[in-house]
Copies of this chain bind each other. A is one copy, B any other.
């Protein structure tokens, strides 16, 4: 209500003629109301950019994107319902040139990889300064892919590691549920020997010795989620 009042008063007179004719139009997507409020304040507090819409999850983001066609989507990765990755892919179907900046709490390398691979132009952590977030918005709008050092380092770490196969991910998924080899075998309709075989390569790839270490490592890397 207060923001609206201000916006009307500000837009009507247009007292600042150094303001560029076309501002960077930003869509803010985050399921935490206070965080969303912070991002809106952050963007609107910067000259040359303005929040044109907000959404609290992936579905809403897509709806709103079609209506407003913003220049930049500033989005959380972990959201209830449709997550960030699915949202990026859906947005790219609508507009292949969409500029998504992910703003995440976590620096799990798998999360970063998936976001970037899905087409995010940047991946920032939530402890990023106001200036750097604003700067990234400008850089991405200018066509760059602005990835901070800490984040790209994680990405490099991931590329060092041997990637898990689909089946190995199936196994690790059940592993973190505390399932025994026999139970995993049963769930995947394969023999227990095959499970052990997958586990062997899995341990090697993650650089661990047993299932407990593997479970922890998988969580730490963001390969599986605890939700």
Question: A residues touching B (Cβ–Cβ < 8 Å)?
Answer: 1-3, 6, 31-42, 44-45, 103, 105, 126-130, 133, 175-178, 180, 208-213, 215-216, 219-220, 226
Q: Are B33 and A129 in contact (CB under 8 A)?
A: yes
Say yes or no: B178 contacts A128, CB within 8 Å.
no
State in angstroms the CA–CA spacing of A176 and B38 once bound together.
35
Minimum CB–CB distance for A40 against chain B, Å: 8
Q: Enumerate chain B residues within 8 angstroms of A37, measured Cβ to Cβ.
A: 37-39, 41-42, 130
Most chain B beta carbons < 10 A, residue from A31, A35, A209:
A35
A32 B178 Cβ-Cβ under 8 A? no
Nearest B residue (CB) for A41: B41
CA distance A216 to B214 in the complex (A): 12
Which residues does chain B contribute within 8 Å of A45, judged by CB atoms? 1-3
Given A175-B212, A178-B212, A178-B216: A127 and B33 within 8 A (CB)?
A: yes
Determine the distance from Cα of A58 to Cα of B216 in the docked complex, in whole angstroms.
Answer: 28
